Amino acid sequence: MLATLGLLANTDPQRADVLDEAAELAVRHFQQRRGITADGTVGPETYWALTGAHWQLGDRFLSHSAPQAMYGDDVTALQERLLELGYDLGRPDGLFGPRTADGLRAFQRDYGLVADGLCGPETLRSLRQLGRRVVGGRPQWLRELAAVVESGPSLLGKRIVIDPGHGGTDLGTVHTDDSLPGGTVTEASLVWDLATRLEGRLTALGVRTWVTRGQTIDRTDSERAEFANEVGADLLLSLHVDGSESSQANGLATYYYGGAETHSSVGERLADLIQRELVARTRLLDNRIHGKAWALLRLTRMPAVRLELGYLTSPVDRARLLDPVFRDTVAEGLLVAIQRLYLADADDTPTGVLQISA
């Protein structure tokens, strides 16, 4: 698969079952290009992306099929083409779902084709003959920005999904220390506590909030994204704590949907606001914001960000993460960042000074 993408020379058939240094480097290169964590490991997300990367628009007929939707780079190319022509499909996620089928049928009706939702040679020929209708930026991101502006500055009535990472049997990063109550602290428990603190603040301001999991329940990233889509959320905020083999790794980073070809401008704006507010209020090391194409960020139809709040494996960060007062400070910083996203430039305040009262 890597060789057909031009990332790896043909290997010796006698060693075809060996993931050697060259193959691992090629995997990392592919992951970096696709906005996936570049760890050299071919897990489900990397394999999904590898499989989809082999399809180019025109290689096969495309249509909506249940329960397993078609996916690949050809689907992404079709979605982006329809978006450029003014059809609202939502985010180009590479999955041929019902919204993509509806948009394709609308295009076919508008241009005198059989509205069967099947992307074949005749539909492709029409798509390639037409120029763009929407100019001045990526259509979907323009719609996201317009939705934020039109919703107004008040948080009252906003719909926000809070996603505490991991849960259930998936504890995330774990630190064991005999001096701790119970002897262990986990990422899942820390972000659950943070989620409840943030939820309370948002609810007090009239925000409609949902949490993607229970305290003892886990969900896949795809299930979390589907839940946020079903409730029609305006924003999704995913909470995590990082970990590393090195105890020297420390600091916080925030991620938004972005790759080599596309990114969410509102997601990037929210990630930047969160990063700057939390760095100013907590003095954690600034590991900046980054665009990623992780499933949770890619499959959500609303702006979504993922926060990695320090390293549980760092003695410096861990001492702060275990402090309830610190977690209150983080919850307040997240609330302020969300509020600032909806403020007009003229009404915005400097980083680290805005206080919000219920």
Domain range annotation of the chain: 13-52, 73-135, 154-347
Q: Give me the architecture of the 154-347 domain, per CATH.
A: 3-Layer(aba) Sandwich (3.40)
- Contact between 320 and 284 under an 8 Å Cβ cutoff? The reply is yes
pLDDT confidence of 42, banded at 50, 70, 90? very high
More confident residue, 133 or 249: 249
175-184, 286-295, 333-342: the lowest-pLDDT one: 175-184
17 pLDDT above the threshold of 90: no
Rounded CA-CA distance 65/189 in Å is: 39
More confident residue, 320 or 150: 320
Give mean pLDDT, residues 254-265.
82
Rounded CA-CA distance 63/103 in Å is: 12
Counting residues of the chain whose pLDDT is more than 90, the rounded percentage is 67
More confident residue, 147 or 240: 240
SS3 291: strand
User: What pLDDT shows up at residue 253?
Assistant: 98
Give mean pLDDT, residues 281-300.
94
pLDDT confidence of 131, banded at 50, 70, 90? low
Give mean pLDDT, residues 101-113.
94
User: What pLDDT shows up at residue 62?
Assistant: 95
CA-to-CA dists, residue 45 to 48, 49, 100, 327, angstroms: 5, 6, 22, 31
Residues 6+ apart with CB under 8 A from 195: 162, 163, 164, 211, 239
Sheet holding 304-311, edge to edge: 208-211, 159-164, 235-242, 304-311, 252-257, 286-292
SS3 12: coil
Rounded CA-CA distance 219/210 in Å is: 14
353 pLDDT above the threshold of 90: no
pLDDT confidence of 16, banded at 50, 70, 90? low
User: What pLDDT shows up at residue 35?
Assistant: 87
329 pLDDT above the threshold of 70: yes
- Contact between 254 and 285 under an 8 Å Cβ cutoff? The reply is no
Rounded CA-CA distance 44/24 in Å is: 16
Rounded CA-CA distance 352/299 in Å is: 31
Residues 6+ apart with CB under 8 A from 228: 161, 163, 210, 212, 236, 300, 301, 302, 304
12 pLDDT above the threshold of 70: no
What are the phi and psi torsion angles at 62 (to 5°)?
-115, 135
More confident residue, 68 or 78: 78
Place of tokens 């290169």: 29
Q: Give me the architecture of the 73-135 domain, per CATH.
A: Orthogonal Bundle (1.10)
More confident residue, 269 or 177: 269
Paired tokens of 256: 């938004």
Rounded CA-CA distance 236/254 in Å is: 13
CA-to-CA dists, residue 19 to 16, 26, 40, 100, angstroms: 8, 10, 10, 37
136 pLDDT above the threshold of 50: no
SS3 289: strand
Paired tokens of 92: 């180009």
Give mean pLDDT, residues 184-197.
96
Give mean pLDDT, residues 257-267.
80
What average pLDDT does the chain have? Answer: 90
SS3 268: helix
- Contact between 183 and 177 under an 8 Å Cβ cutoff? The reply is yes
User: What pLDDT shows up at residue 137?
Assistant: 47
Give mean pLDDT, residues 24-51.
91
